Amino acid sequence: MIRLAIQAKGRLNEESVEMLAEAGISVEQSKRKLLSRSEDFPLEILYLRDDDIPQAVSMGVADIGIVGLNEVLENELEVEVIHKLGFGKCRLSLAIPKGDEYTGLEYFNSKRIATSYPVILKRYFEQKGIVPEIHKIAGSVEIAPTVGMADAIFDIVSTGGTLISNGLREVERVISSEAVLISGKALEEDKLLIVRQLISRFEAVERSKGKKYMLMNIPENRLKEATSILPGVKSPTVLPLAQSGWCSLHAVVSENDLWSKIEQLKLIGAEDILVLSLEKMIP
C-alpha cells in the first residue's frame, strides 16, 4: 500500500482524480473525508492544500504526491520529480498595470511585487541583477495593484483571463509549470513496485491521448505507399482479405494529422476507412 497526496480542491484535484480513473483507479471523493482508499489498487489518497504537498512527501507522511511543479520549486524541499503528468499546464509570469509602459526588466527595480511565490521570484531577479521589493501574499494576488498594495504581480497564468479582468498585462514569462508526480526519500522495495505500476498506467493513458486507431482496406500493390503515409507507425498490422489483391491495414495515428492522412490514403485507393477511439496504449 502506498499513500498519494493530491490537492483537496482546485484545478489539480479534478484532473488528478480523472487521471487516476483513466488509469483504472477509482477513489471515493467526499468534501469532508481527507483520507480515502482505492478499492481496486493498493493506494490511499491524502487530500491536502497544494502548497502542503511537497512538505508531506518530504516528511514521509505521504509516499508520493501530485502537485504543480511551481510548488516543488517554491518549497525547495527534499523531493524528487519522478514523472511529468502533462496536465495542469500553466506559467508563472510577471504582470503590470495594462496602461504602464514596459521597456524591460529594469522596470521592476525598486517596484513592489505581490506574489505567493517569493522564492522563485527572488532567485529569478538575483540572476538578472534586478532588486525589487517582493511582498508575499497568500491569495487574490491579481487585485494587489488596484488596491495599492503593489505595483506589479508575479503569479500563475493559465488562460490569462484573471489578468485581463484585473486590468493587468503579462510582460515576462518566468517559468512553465505542469502537474508532476513527486516522491520523497528512498521508498521500500514493495512500495517502489506499486509506484512503478502506477507510472506505467499513467504512461499508457498519456500515450493514447490525442491518438486514434484507423482500419482500412487497401490494394496490396499500394501497401508500401500506405505505410509511408503512416510514418509514426513502427510496424502497421496487415491482414489478408477474402477478396484477392486487397488487404486490411491497421494503424495508430495522431488526431492532428487524421484528416490529412485520410485524404492521402484515399488518393492511393484506401476504402472503408474506420476511425476508432483509442483507450490505452501499452508497449
What's the CA gap between 80 and 99, in Å, rounded? 41
52 binds ligand PRP (CB under 6 A): no
| Of 71, 155, 172, 206, the one binding ligand PRP by CB under 6 A | 155
Residue 43 pairs with which residues in a beta bridge?
2
142 binds ligand PRP (CB under 6 A): yes
What's the CA gap between 75 and 55, in Å, rounded? 8
158 binds ligand PRP (CB under 6 A): yes
What's the CA gap between 148 and 150, in Å, rounded? 6
162 binds ligand PRP (CB under 6 A): yes
Written as one string, the DSSP assignment of 99-164 is TS---SGGGGTT-EEEES-HHHHHHHHHHHT---EEEE-SS-GGGTTTTTS-SEEEEEESSSHHHH
Burial class (CB in 10 A: 0-12, 13-18, 19+), 240: exposed
Instruction: Give the nearest distance from C-beta 163 to ligand PRP in angstroms.
Output: 6
161 binds ligand PRP (CB under 6 A): yes
CA 170, 172, 174, 178 torsion: positive or negative? positive
157 binds ligand PRP (CB under 6 A): yes
Name the segment binding ligand PRP (CB under 6 A); options: 92-100, 106-114, 117-125, 152-160: 152-160
156 binds ligand PRP (CB under 6 A): yes
Contact track, ligand PRP, 86-125, x by CB under 6 A: ----------------------------------------
What's the CA gap between 238 and 227, in Å, rounded? 10
Name the segment binding ligand PRP (CB under 6 A); options: 91-99, 107-115, 157-165, 261-269: 157-165
Nearer to ligand PRP by Cβ, of 143 and 205: the residue is 143
Instruction: List interacting residues with ligand PRP (CB under 6 A).
Output: 10-11, 139, 142, 155-162
